[in-house]
Homo-oligomer: A and B are copies of this chain.
């Protein structure tokens, strides 16, 4: 298995994504939230880049079947049903419902990868399930979202753990600097994912905003067997 590894969305070569198997990683928090929502029985998630379009997609009369969810700069959007805290996406709130989700990075990544042959959403929580779903693929593009053009350590860390989980199937000569740096982070900090997430720029910001529980939630490695994929622009399990 050849690996093409991008440390930020901006570095991703759109042509390389075409027809490839793309893994989208935004640990804090879009990927983790998507996994949690589908794990809790949400029927589908429609990723939308902007708040206005998302709001138009959910008419007031539909609010029992469709929910508006998302964040901007880590904070809830006024008038939305749910934010981007994965723990909010309980079976009681989301089972059988459609979620229209708009997050700063996660939805942009899914949109960027819209021409991919296959898209898998990966977080720490579904790490091993995501790796299992990728076995046998000849080429995998790992797309770490990062934040505003800079790399996010938690996304690289998750990408590195994914490579570890893929194991000897990965062709080592295909690993670029970014992939090998991710591997070094996974090797060094893999023993305590929560402490690592708390030490990152984004983790510290979330703790400062009062989302400490979210950081702990997102740091639980391999607790979910759910593998979100994208079909015709909609995320399903």
Answer yes or no: A19 CB below 8 A from chain B CBs: no
Answer yes or no: A184 CB below 8 A from chain B CBs: yes
Residues of B near A151 (CB, < 8 A) are 7, 151, 177-178, 181
Answer yes or no: A53 CB below 8 A from chain B CBs: no
Tell me whether A200 and B184 are in contact (CB under 8 A): no
Per the bound structure, the CA–CA distance linking A25 and B37 in Å amounts to: 44
- Copies of the protein in its oligomer: 2
Answer yes or no: A23 CB below 8 A from chain B CBs: no
Q: Give which listed residue, B150, B156, B201, contacts A11 with CB less than 8 A.
A: B150
Residues of B near A200 (CB, < 8 A) are 177, 180
Tell me whether B199 and A181 are in contact (CB under 8 A): no
Which residues of A line the B interface, CB within 8 A? 7, 10-11, 149-153, 156, 176-178, 180-181, 184-185, 187-189, 199-202
